[in-house]
Chains A and B, each alone.
Chain A
């Protein structure tokens, strides 16, 4: 298990995503899967930067549980206002250029890139857990 705690602001995105990427690399994921895991992590973190702490500053904690050559579980925790990213609506993927809305893609990418996703509110924390298996069950 390894953990990083940083202020929940966009300036720390690179450090946080880099931390997850390194955990994923050590777990044994291919370069292609690393980019997908980075994408799911960035989208989860940016949601927290944007919504978790509207009035005060706060922190985000990212914990990686790794089983070499098997799976990576990423737990992303903040102490902000209750916010379930899984409750966000899916974007309209078929709209043309004029109709297409800006936004809504973040949660869609998280769902696409990970195998299991879970949200829970516990002791004043938002906890989002993403699980990715090395050998995806088809």
Chain B
């Protein structure tokens, strides 16, 4: 898994590539947690290059989304590949975290 952070205007765009599994998901959670502690409150997670996600990955997203909600912040996801989107849909996560088709359409929401 690789995580790239880009600050564009009001939003922080975090691009995650590779696999978000039981090994790498805690790293995602720690990085986001550190950025939240630095005062960032709006994140767009670009999953365009993410090939795989497991329940450990969903857990790290849920924990992050809950932290941000407590700070009136926002977590938006975008550009999910089909296999990743399937995991969000069958788990019901697509109804608790907003998902957009492109980075731009997510940025417009911030």
Q: In the complex, how many angstroms separate the beta carbon of A129 from the nearest chain B beta carbon?
A: 20
How many interface residues does chain A have, given as a range? 20 to 34
User: Are the CB atoms of B69 and A98 closer together than 8 Å?
Assistant: yes
CB atoms of A10 and B22 under 8 A apart: yes
Tell me the number of A-to-B contacts counted with CB atoms below 8 Å: 67
Chain B: interface residue total (CB-CB under 8 A): 24
Interface pair A109/B91, CB less than 8 Å apart: yes
The answer to whether A109 and B96 have CB atoms under 8 Å apart is: no
A26 to chain B, nearest CB (A): 19
Interface presence of A46 (CB below 8 A): yes
Main secondary structure of the interface of B (DSSP, over half): helix
Using a CB–CB distance below 8 Å, which chain A residues touch chain B? 10-11, 13-14, 17, 32, 35-36, 38-39, 42-43, 46, 49, 91, 93-98, 100, 102-103, 105-106, 108-109, 112
> Which 4 A-B pairs give the minimum distances between C-beta atoms?
A93-B92, A105-B55, A35-B83, A97-B96
16 additional A-B pairs beyond A93-B92, A98-B69, beta carbons within 8 Å, are A10-B22, A13-B21, A13-B22, A13-B23, A14-B21, A35-B52, A38-B52, A43-B54, A95-B92, A97-B62, A97-B65, A97-B66, A102-B59, A102-B62, A109-B55, A109-B90
